[in-house]
A and B are shown apart, each in its own frame.
Chain A
């Protein structure tokens, strides 16, 4: 598996720049997740506060606003745990280049969620991230400098 990891540069070397982008984004997500984990993201209702503050002005559809007010804000601890878990998942997947395609889909969903519940100051950032996740998923960025190449070589299919 380790051989395949480095061998990928030889056979899918054209994806090398994209794989650096993938690792960078993974590192960014790891940093964000660690800040949240070490801070009080899970213990204090900062997320609920943020949602209560921005939902009225959010571009989110009405059904989402109703769902967020009735389910997400009261259960903010569960939502915070899921968001943190997804951030760790995106981070580890992108750094290792493992299951990048389905994780990129999760990344898009996560970004859309954050776009709806965050203020306008981070709107541009999340929109850019959506585009990057889409590209990474589309090209299968885990195939170069990543463990996805090992599985892609043996199993093919759309998941690698």
Chain B
């Protein structure tokens, strides 16, 4: 036993010294570090984050460091649990369902951005002075061309037997697109009929993945035939993989709209740098990077023109009114969904 304890003590002491030595050699560079907290597909090497970081570091005399969260739905949960110890100066990737919760759980700095030349459809998202949208998109089901004879054209078509266990959906409790789907159904059909529809959908769903990327992985691995994703997802396959086999479906119901917001927590350490980064993201250069790497529509006018994004923006039929629901309303819908889900599992 003495040998074992001594052995563990030596290992941990050695590791402690190694870590201490490493942090000593890494510190002391002298330049301030802007810490940006965002979801994985934004901060990852294939996302918009690294390009924005390079652009920003050219002029700021600072370093940009990303803190990665796996999905936008998890960001707020992490921010609540870790608070100031997370060390984030800027939070990127909240959607409209998170805003009320974010405002009630954290203190945020007011953003003074002046008049923004945004699209008409984006204006309803500018109501909050603590958060500003940096991109937006509509959500729908994405399928592979030629895999099915008849693709769904309305929500009710999803209940057909061909799609049984073939639809990849996201869990609305942890994923923002999952919450968007729930809201889309409820708003399209009304609450009572909507939840009846969701109850029937439980048998159609392959699984409720905790994140968008997990659900999309099921689809690309051909375990699912349909996935609830962004209307712009096929453009990603077209441009990045030169694969034109994917299609975003048109539904007779107007599509759900997602805005992605950024905000500066009150406890930020490099708040001025965070504001400058926000300005970069709203500049034509930043918006272009976001559009091309994040595969979402830009919020500012004059960026998407003469691109396939502009054509798609014209084509999609978003919901007329974008409402920013209260935190209690979101919780109520989620509670109802959870009860349904529990009933389905049991």
Q: Smallest CB-CB separation from B18: which chain A residue?
A: A37
Spot the interface stretch: A4-12, A17-25, A44-52. Answer: A44-52
Contact A49 B69 (CB under 8 A): yes
Spot the interface stretch: B80-88, B98-106, B150-158. Answer: B80-88
Cross-interface CB contact of A45 among B71, B78, B210, cutoff 8 Å: B78
Range of interface residues on B (Cβ < 8 Å): 20 to 34
Q: Assuming the A-B contacts A57-B210, A85-B15, are A48 and B81 also in contact, with contact meaning beta carbons closer than 8 angstroms in the complex?
A: yes
Distance between Cα atoms of A79 and B162 in the complex (Å): 46
Cross-interface CB contact of A81 among B3, B15, B69, B74, cutoff 8 Å: B15
Range of interface residues on A (Cβ < 8 Å): 20 to 34
Number of A-B residue pairs with CB-CB distance less than 8 Å in the complex they form: 72
Q: Smallest CB-CB separation from A77: which chain B residue?
A: B85
Contact A92 B11 (CB under 8 A): yes
Contact B211 A53 (CB under 8 A): yes
Contact A81 B19 (CB under 8 A): yes
Q: Smallest CB-CB separation from A159: which chain B residue?
A: B1
Please give, as numbers and ranges, the residues of chain A lying within 8 Å of B18 by CB-CB distance.
Answer: 37
Contact A53 B71 (CB under 8 A): yes
Cross-interface CB contact of A102 among B1, B68, B173, cutoff 8 Å: B1
Q: Is B327 an interface residue (CB 8 A)?
A: no
Cross-interface CB contact of B74 among A49, A57, A84, cutoff 8 Å: A49
Nearest CB of chain A from residue B331's CB, rounded to whole Å: 15
Please give, as numbers and ranges, the residues of chain B lying within 8 Å of A159 by CB-CB distance.
Answer: 1, 3-4
Which B24-76 residues sit within 8 Å CB-CB of chain A?
67-71, 74
Which A60-105 residues sit within 8 Å CB-CB of chain B?
69, 73-74, 76, 81, 84-85, 88-89, 92-93, 98-99, 102-103
Distance between Cα atoms of A53 and B71 in the complex (Å): 9
Contact B8 A89 (CB under 8 A): yes
Contact A74 B81 (CB under 8 A): yes
Distance between Cα atoms of A88 and B1 in the complex (Å): 19
Contact B78 A52 (CB under 8 A): yes
Query: What are 11 A-B pairs at a CB distance below 8 A?
Result: A45-B67, A46-B68, A52-B74, A53-B174, A54-B210, A69-B81, A73-B82, A84-B15, A89-B11, A99-B7, A102-B1
Closest 8 A-B residue pairs measured CB to CB?
A102-B4, A89-B11, A85-B12, A99-B4, A73-B81, A85-B15, A53-B70, A99-B7
